[in-house]
């Protein structure tokens, strides 16, 4: 974790110091602070971060407002940290490009656990020694689109498509398990690394964001289909009618 660059964005100095102390105890060393939206945007334009904790209620602009602009500079996981915990707020956060949503007050160790889970899923894993390229597929070809695991890249009709970290990781997980039906809870636990605690909205928003990228008609999906009453599955193109 020593090389992981972290940006903490919050206008409460005491909270920043507390998170800084906890993260350093957990092995994080490269930690920057920003106490306003303007400062956060300036830092993101000057430096590459591996993960960002972003407060929603900032003094100049909201975290929701600046998240799309941060997304223009990085695909790093963005975790909203805020006292606003309604379902609508969560949906807004995910819709703006966030990858996770933590409600204040929180246990700082939970924040660290969520950060580590996001980091594990945002960085490609090195191929294990002894595994053949065939046994460890790195590019998943679904005809209209391809997912390159090592490059962390989605291509649709031959063109690279921007894909935030958790959207990519959810699509990658589904690509690795074609034709298998997953419930929302199963997908949340597999991709976010923790129990969903009944949070269906996170998966729903990310499924929609995948469909917007890979489907010709997102409202009538051919690849990422809903199995009514059961969940979702990814269908290879060769099985399309």
Higher pLDDT, 57 or 73: 57
Domain identity same for 117 and 144: no
Domain identity same for 169 and 218: yes
* Domain at 17, CATH number: 3.40.50.2300
Residue 195: pLDDT band with limits 50, 70, 90: low
Total of domains in the chain? 2
Mean of pLDDT over the chain = 84
Domain identity same for 111 and 181: no
What is residue 125's predicted lDDT score, i.e. its pLDDT? 47
What is residue 35's predicted lDDT score, i.e. its pLDDT? 94
Region of poorest pLDDT, from 54-63, 133-142, 166-175, 202-211:
133-142
What is residue 192's predicted lDDT score, i.e. its pLDDT? 79
Is 127 contained in some domain? no
Domain identity same for 14 and 111: yes
What is residue 145's predicted lDDT score, i.e. its pLDDT? 93
Average pLDDT over residues 144-148: 92
Domain range for 193 is: 139-239
Average pLDDT over residues 186-207: 80
Is 161 contained in some domain? yes
Q: Element (H or E) spanning 40, and its range?
A: helix 37-46
Alpha helices in 47-183 (DSSP H): 63-71, 87-95, 108-122, 165-176
Residue 119, preceding bond cis, omega within 30 degrees? Answer: no
Is 231 contained in some domain? yes
Q: Pairing mode, if any, of strands 5-9 and 78-82?
A: unpaired
Is 221 contained in some domain? yes
Average pLDDT over residues 192-218: 84
Is the pLDDT reported for residue 200 higher than 80?
A: no
Q: CA Rg, the chain, in Å?
A: 18
Domain identity same for 150 and 74: no
């Amino acid at each position: 974790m020593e090389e992981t660059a972290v940006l903490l964005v919050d206008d409460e100095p005491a909270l920043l110091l507390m998170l800084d102390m906890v993260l350093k105890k957990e092995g994080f060393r490269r930690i920057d602070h920003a106490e306003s939206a303007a400062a956060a945007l300036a830092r993101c334009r000057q430096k590459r971060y591996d993960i960002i904790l972003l407060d929603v209620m900032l003094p100049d602009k909201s975290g929701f407002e600046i998240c799309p602009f941060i997304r223009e500079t990085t695909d790093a996981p963005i975790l909203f940290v805020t006292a606003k915990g309604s379902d609508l707020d969560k949906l807004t956060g995910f819709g703006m490009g966030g990858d996770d949503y933590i409600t204040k007050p929180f246990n700082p160790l939970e924040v660290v656990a969520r950060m580590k889970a996001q980091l594990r899923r945002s960085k490609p894993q090195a191929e294990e020694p002894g595994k053949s390229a065939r046994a460890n597929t790195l590019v998943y070809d679904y005809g209209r689109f391809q997912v390159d695991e090592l490059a962390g890249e989605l291509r649709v009709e031959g063109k690279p498509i921007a894909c935030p970290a958790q959207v990519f990781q959810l699509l990658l997980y589904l690509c690795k398990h074609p034709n298998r039906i997953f419930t929302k809870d199963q997908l949340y636990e597999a991709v976010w690394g923790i129990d969903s605690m009944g949070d269906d909205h996170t998966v729903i928003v990310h499924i929609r964001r995948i469909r917007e990228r890979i489907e010709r008609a997102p409202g009538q999906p051919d690849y990422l289909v809903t199995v009514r009453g059961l969940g979702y599955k990814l269908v290879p193109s060769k099985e399309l009618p």
